[in-house]
Structure 1
Amino acid sequence: MTRIQRTSAAVLLVLHLILFATAAEEPPFTYNGWTSGNFWGGGYVQNVVLCPSKPDRCYAYIDMAGVYRSDDKGNTWRMLHGAFPNGVGYQIRGLSVDPRNADHFITVVSCRQFGKGFLLASCDGGKTFRIVGRIHTDNGMRRTTGFIIDRNPQNPDEIMVGGNDGVMKSSDNGKTWNSIWTHSLNPTDLRYDRTNPSRIWLCSPLLARWKAPSALWKQKFDVGFFRTEDGGKTWVKLSSESPSELVQSCSNPGELYALFNYETVKRSTDNGKTWTDYSRGLNKETVKYHDKYCNKNIYTALGAGKDFLVVASTLKDFYRLDHGSDEWKRIDIRKVDPRDYLGAHIIDDHAFKATGSITIDPYDQNHWYATDFYNVLQTFDAGENWICTSTGMSQVVMKSAFVLPGTRNFLVTLMDHSWYLSKDGGETFTPYPGFGYERNFFQVAPSDPGTIYASGPRASTVSVSHDGGKTWKVPRQQGLPNRQRYYVRGSIAVDPADAKTVYLAVSNEFADGEGGGVYVSRDAGENWTRMSEGLPDLTYHKGKGFFENTNVCGYELAVSKAGTPVCMSIVYNHVCRWNKEKGRWETVRSDKAQPWGLADLQADPFFNRLWLAARKTGLLFSDDDGRTWEKLETFPGIAGRLYFDREKAGRFTVSANEGVYFTEDGGKNWWFYDFDRTVPGRSINAVVAVAGEDLLLATQESGVFYHHIRRNPDGSPKGFIRKKVEKEIHRTSAFSTLFGWGTLRVSPGGAMFETTDGKHRFLFSIPGDGILRVECSNAERYVTIGTAPLSVKKGKKYRLEFQVRGDVKLIGYFNDPERRNFLNSPLNAEWRNFSLEVVPRSDRLSVALVNWRQKGWFEIRNFKLSEE
């Protein structure tokens, strides 16, 4: 490079920095009145996707934290996944933008816990999404590689996506999808040939670098490199060894370059049939490093410019291969500017530890994007200097939000990290000198507000502060189960009269199956004694013990004003109370019909009342030391995590899926802030902490959001709406279970749920106005659809209404608690109106419709169960 060229490049870089700095000072994007806290970082950013029709627009997606959009070339970002349909999750595996319209794109969402993932379409730049298909993908180790979704370069309406069960295709820009190749695969990259779109490559590698796959895994997936020459009609395995990702040379489309097992770059000049090593110049030696997934000879990203290639290792090494050369040249990275990145103090050690992708700007070959752990970085001088450009990208898994006693400072804990403190209402955060790993539970001793206990989840330990949180220590914890595994030690609760008496919930399955239950310490956590006599032996439901063992749940343990411990099981929907006279636990409330039907159990810091958030059942309370529980009739919604203001009596929040409930008079009157499907991470498990007039929402995948309460002239909070209890109407969305052999389709939305083994399937995001279609192709089988137990009022009069059609004899029945038939008649293809009066015999009512051993189909719509 000449002196003039270097000077021009330097001037250009300075201009970019000035523009970026100016943009960074603009007011932050708000989500319906809530602002993302300055907590940039977290998660594994997978790719940056550019928009040909709008060069300033780009999208990015993150392994477990949703989709982001930038309108200033990646300088600042905003979250889009707040608009996702309920229940689809936020684990993203791919994204494809229509090159003609930047507002049109398809997102691939993997859903590891509940089987198939989802294909989502947006036609308005991410303001709204709809389900257009289902696909089996996951976000395992291979999530860092390639693109599993691609478009025909000569016909953008044609899109293909690869999944574990084969390849799907859309010919109408993602509106509808069809399976074109049913095959068991491990797809990591799928690419159209730019010059011949009938040719498509698909990578299904072994990825055995760190751990040899089991024999079962090898049987499950067909490992190899595949190609089709007829647009996906037929596929040929070119070799049993497959690259993890590949790129097609821009200067010579006849050349393919690919990464093999994260260690070798190879080239093919015969459309992928054969490969030759093309790694000359790349480092091949391992260096001593504590993280086996990061090293100088682990290559995870490959990008292509007009006349060059770039490859990156996972320890800050970038290499460039110019067209016509056969040797890679290492790029000397001079500086990484952290900008406002929270981890600025460790950026030199952490940058590019897990480079996931490299994207070259087609309009500026010196401008590159690179994705990494927590971060998107950009260079404007071909890799010599980099800038962290993750402003607004807060893909942080928060575990807890808490207010330190005597202050209005928010303390938060997050996954895989220590604790952070905000002194400005959640706008900015600084590292907090607390002790140890992430925590989910904090308890202040009522008799001594300077004593604070913290516990769980993954730290599997208890810590205590005796000076209001200034310093922390870990007590000896003698007597607790020795097995130090994740999620062992969960909820913690303090005796109101004795700050040294503390109770702890321990999960059964992580204590050798025997040591779970409740433990008590009389000396501030130094020594513990098990006190689990009488607790139900509930260890068989999907391997779960009595106490929940995930790192996202509410408190399952509280102590009343009288000093009586009360515990509950989120898994089994049990509430137990310690009987001091008998020295054992007694079950005081149980609802086996609704497992995972509870969310949080806490003692009111001001009144002699225990609170129980019971999700769909609402908000329950006990004023008699936990013996009996009543429903708070004034609470108007679904009850999730609780948070009590310790400054003002009767002031607390209740989290809900669509917003947050807020009361300032102990639950007599309720205000609701509707997030209007824009605030990401909204959930019944997302804590909303209160400090004065500041609210802080801590989410499980999108960091924190803060909101300052402003008041109307009458003192009511602005932006909140007054909520009163309304007569509940259960609609089509109430259907949540499917049994039997057959297929269920839900529209609008195009989601399809299949079962072939007679097992129970849980359904997500059924629209209230949806049509449910049930099909059965075998007269020896049956299919049943039904609602989960609905919360109703015993003895009240309800009306059940719906429309139905089909070609089978349909049976309908209630479980209440006995089975009662209300329908047993043949259907026809015309819609039939159905109306029935029902008086429930209990506070739970289930409605089910069954096609019993008939080949055929039926549909229902306009389902409505309402109190008269």
Structure 2
Amino acid sequence: MSRPLTCIQLHLHNKNKKLVIQSSLRINETRNFILFFEKNEFQLSAKSIPTAENTMKQRSSLSLAISSILGGVLFATSSIAAPSETYKWNNVRIDGGGFVPGIIFNQTEPNLIYARTDIGGAYRWDETTKAWIPLLDWVGWDNWGWNGVLSMATDPVDTNRVYAAVGMYTNSWDPNNGAIIRSSDKGKTWQVTKLPFKVGGNMPGRGMGERLSIDPNKNNIVYFGTEGGNGLWRSTDYGATWAKVSSFTNVGNYAQDPTDVNNYLNHNQGVLWVTFDPTSGAAGSASQTIYVGVADKENAIYRSTDGGTSWARIPGQPTGYLPHKGIYDQVNGVLYIATSDTGGPYDGAKGDVGNSPPALAPGPISALFPPAVPIFILVIVA
């Protein structure tokens, strides 16, 4: 016959505050013990309420139980600081906090690096402490979805400026619309511009981009490629206000699974990235040549040569793939593109990597590798 479990409560007093720790163990007979422990005086008193006859054997069990608990209390309370009137809360390391879809390097300031996550906020690298500094701890319960970061951009002109497109889901799972948040002190403080649509930092295709991009010649101009058929957006006042670029008409048409009834995999992954040719402008005047990647396997790459006024599909581009990444190499005059057959981040099977050589620019894009090359091939641009 199994014997009942004894419940032991420990009451730790300090002035008017009390910490109650409850534990339990099995002894010979049922008893309830109330142990009072005062931290400053290190005094322990025990009161037992027997539920079976008082025998010497039971008293021995009680004595052993109290000794065991007291040893644990002295050990545990030796490391407990006296409670104060106010408390300071800090971060603790929790591994497995989500996927890091993007790492963003500033082009002009060494060691200025940002990382964005799909559910865990954004971070900046601190070269002095060799640690990642969390930037979105101010996000609260009412806007919890802003811990999903779809894209980031760090300003190559004023390196204190950084932007992030935040929002978790584009379906009903996140009740709020997305936002563009901006900082002029490397993420210590932020200003918020709410968007009229949702942003999916944890939606399919979140590893593509970067969707946010700053004109390296005129850094008040910022572009944002959106999801869900919302098209290409632009700000001309450092991200304070935004307007849709009406002349850019391809909003994307690719969805991972158009039949998904949860409005997750049937999400249109939209406009994927924006990159500039810095040599097409001068300091203080807008770059004239801009490239944009779209989630459209037949019409993936577009270019403007008039500062975003008009756009055209680049002829001769590879088809059948999504342009996950696009970056312009201003030194060699080459646009590099890495593609995959799906939006990812976890189901790509094959891809392609290509470039547009200077001799052909602004002509066709030529493939560097056969189509069976996986997306994880990395093109390093010097």
Cα distance change on mapping 1:82 and 1:39 into 2, 3 Å:
closer
Partner of 1:191: 275
Aligned to 1:141, what secondary structure does the other structure show? coil
Partner of 1:299: 375
The residue type paired with residue 365 of structure 2 is: W
Q: How does 1:94-105 map to 2 (within 5 A)?
A: 94-105=151-162
Q: CA deviation at 1:108?
A: 0.6
Q: CA deviation at 1:54?
A: 4.3
Aligned to 1:95, what secondary structure does the other structure show? strand
Provide the rounded CA distance (Å) in 2 between the counterparts of 1:137 and 1:238: 28
2:314 aligned to which of 233, 238, 250: 238
**Is 1:148 paired with 2:148?**
no
Deviations 1:46-68 (A, max 9, x none): 22223356424322111221111
Partner of 1:37: 92
Deviations 1:208-257 (A, max 9, x none): xxxxxxxxxxxxxx95322222222222223683522222235411x222
Aligned to 1:44, what secondary structure does the other structure show? coil
C-alpha contact (below 8 Å) 1:249/1:304 kept by paired residues: no
1:47 aligned to which of 102, 111, 114: 102
1:91 aligned to which of 137, 145, 148: 148
Provide the rounded CA distance (Å) in 2 between the counterparts of 1:276 and 1:53: 30
Provide the rounded CA distance (Å) in 2 between the counterparts of 1:163 and 1:128: 24
Partner of 1:129: 190
Q: CA deviation at 1:99?
A: 2.4
Q: CA deviation at 1:84?
A: 3.5
TM-score by length of 1: 0.26
Partner of 1:169: 234
C-alpha contact (below 8 Å) 1:58/1:74 kept by paired residues: no
Q: How does 1:700-711 map to 2 (within 5 A)?
A: none
Cα distance change on mapping 1:101 and 1:154 into 2, 3 Å:
closer
The residue type paired with residue 187 of structure 2 is: G
Provide the rounded CA distance (Å) in 1 between the counterparts of 2:329 and 2:114: 23
Partner of 1:117: 178
Partner of 1:492: none
Provide the rounded CA distance (Å) in 2 between the counterparts of 1:157 and 1:264: 34
Deviations 1:360-408 (A, max 9, x none): xxxxxxxxxxxxxxxxxxxxxxxxxxxxxxxxxxxxxxxxxxxxxxxxx
Q: CA deviation at 1:301?
A: 6.2
C-alpha contact (below 8 Å) 1:104/1:125 kept by paired residues: yes
Cα distance change on mapping 1:104 and 1:34 into 2, 3 Å:
same
Provide the rounded CA distance (Å) in 2 between the counterparts of 1:243 and 1:98: 24
Provide the rounded CA distance (Å) in 2 between the counterparts of 1:38 and 1:136: 30
Partner of 1:263: 351
Provide the rounded CA distance (Å) in 2 between the counterparts of 1:65 and 1:57: 20
Aligned length: 246
Aligned to 2:309, what secondary structure does the other structure show? coil
Provide the rounded CA distance (Å) in 1 between the counterparts of 2:154 and 2:377: 21
Identity %: 20
Q: How does 1:336-355 map to 2 (within 5 A)?
A: none
Aligned to 1:195, what secondary structure does the other structure show? helix
Provide the rounded CA distance (Å) in 2 between the counterparts of 1:248 and 1:81: 30
TM-score by length of 2: 0.57
Aligned to 1:33, what secondary structure does the other structure show? coil
Provide the rounded CA distance (Å) in 2 between the counterparts of 1:54 and 1:103: 10
Q: How does 1:420-819 map to 2 (within 5 A)?
A: none
Aligned to 1:188, what secondary structure does the other structure show? strand
Provide the rounded CA distance (Å) in 2 between the counterparts of 1:123 and 1:132: 14
Q: CA deviation at 1:158?
A: 1.2
The residue type paired with residue 59 of structure 1 is: Y
Partner of 1:138: 200
The residue type paired with residue 178 of structure 1 is: A
The residue type paired with residue 160 of structure 2 is: D
Provide the rounded CA distance (Å) in 2 between the counterparts of 1:301 and 1:138: 26
Aligned to 1:70, what secondary structure does the other structure show? strand
Partner of 1:159: 222
C-alpha contact (below 8 Å) 1:62/1:92 kept by paired residues: yes
**Is 1:57 paired with 2:112?**
yes
Provide the rounded CA distance (Å) in 2 between the counterparts of 1:200 and 1:60: 24
The residue type paired with residue 201 of structure 1 is: Y
The residue type paired with residue 289 of structure 2 is: R
The residue type paired with residue 256 of structure 1 is: L
Deviations 1:120-175 (A, max 9, x none): 11223323222224155424331112211111111112111111311221222222
The residue type paired with residue 213 of structure 2 is: D
Q: CA deviation at 1:303?
A: 4.5
Provide the rounded CA distance (Å) in 2 between the counterparts of 1:244 and 1:277: 15
The residue type paired with residue 366 of structure 2 is: T
Provide the rounded CA distance (Å) in 2 between the counterparts of 1:100 and 1:38: 33
Provide the rounded CA distance (Å) in 1 between the counterparts of 2:132 and 2:377: 22
Partner of 1:275: 365
C-alpha contact (below 8 Å) 2:182/2:239 kept by paired residues: yes
C-alpha contact (below 8 Å) 1:133/1:177 kept by paired residues: no
Provide the rounded CA distance (Å) in 1 between the counterparts of 2:205 and 2:329: 23
Provide the rounded CA distance (Å) in 2 between the counterparts of 1:162 and 1:81: 22
Q: Which has the higher strand share?
A: 1
Aligned to 2:337, what secondary structure does the other structure show? strand
**Is 1:224 paired with 2:300?**
yes
Provide the rounded CA distance (Å) in 2 between the counterparts of 1:249 and 1:126: 28
Cα distance change on mapping 1:44 and 1:102 into 2, 3 Å:
same
**Is 1:204 paired with 2:294?**
yes
Aligned to 2:206, what secondary structure does the other structure show? helix
Q: CA deviation at 1:118?
A: 1.0
Provide the rounded CA distance (Å) in 1 between the counterparts of 2:146 and 2:240: 20
Cα distance change on mapping 1:51 and 1:203 into 2, 3 Å:
closer
C-alpha contact (below 8 Å) 1:246/1:302 kept by paired residues: no
C-alpha contact (below 8 Å) 1:248/1:304 kept by paired residues: no
The residue type paired with residue 128 of structure 1 is: T
Aligned to 1:89, what secondary structure does the other structure show? helix
RMSD: 2.9
| Alignment gaps of 5+ in structure 1 | 1-31, 208-221, 285-296, 307-868
C-alpha contact (below 8 Å) 1:65/1:91 kept by paired residues: yes
Q: CA deviation at 1:73?
A: 7.3
C-alpha contact (below 8 Å) 2:208/2:325 kept by paired residues: yes
Cα distance change on mapping 1:50 and 1:229 into 2, 3 Å:
same
The residue type paired with residue 188 of structure 1 is: L
Cα distance change on mapping 1:83 and 1:143 into 2, 3 Å:
same
C-alpha contact (below 8 Å) 1:158/1:169 kept by paired residues: yes
Cα distance change on mapping 1:233 and 1:251 into 2, 3 Å:
closer
Q: CA deviation at 1:206?
A: 4.1
C-alpha contact (below 8 Å) 2:123/2:133 kept by paired residues: yes
Q: CA deviation at 1:74?
A: 8.8
C-alpha contact (below 8 Å) 1:53/1:101 kept by paired residues: no
Cα distance change on mapping 1:128 and 1:148 into 2, 3 Å:
same
The residue type paired with residue 243 of structure 1 is: P
Deviations 1:311-354 (A, max 9, x none): xxxxxxxxxxxxxxxxxxxxxxxxxxxxxxxxxxxxxxxxxxxx
Cα distance change on mapping 1:40 and 1:111 into 2, 3 Å:
closer
Cα distance change on mapping 1:37 and 1:272 into 2, 3 Å:
farther
Provide the rounded CA distance (Å) in 2 between the counterparts of 1:301 and 1:106: 28
Aligned to 2:137, what secondary structure does the other structure show? helix
The residue type paired with residue 155 of structure 1 is: K
Aligned to 1:77, what secondary structure does the other structure show? strand
Partner of 1:66: 121
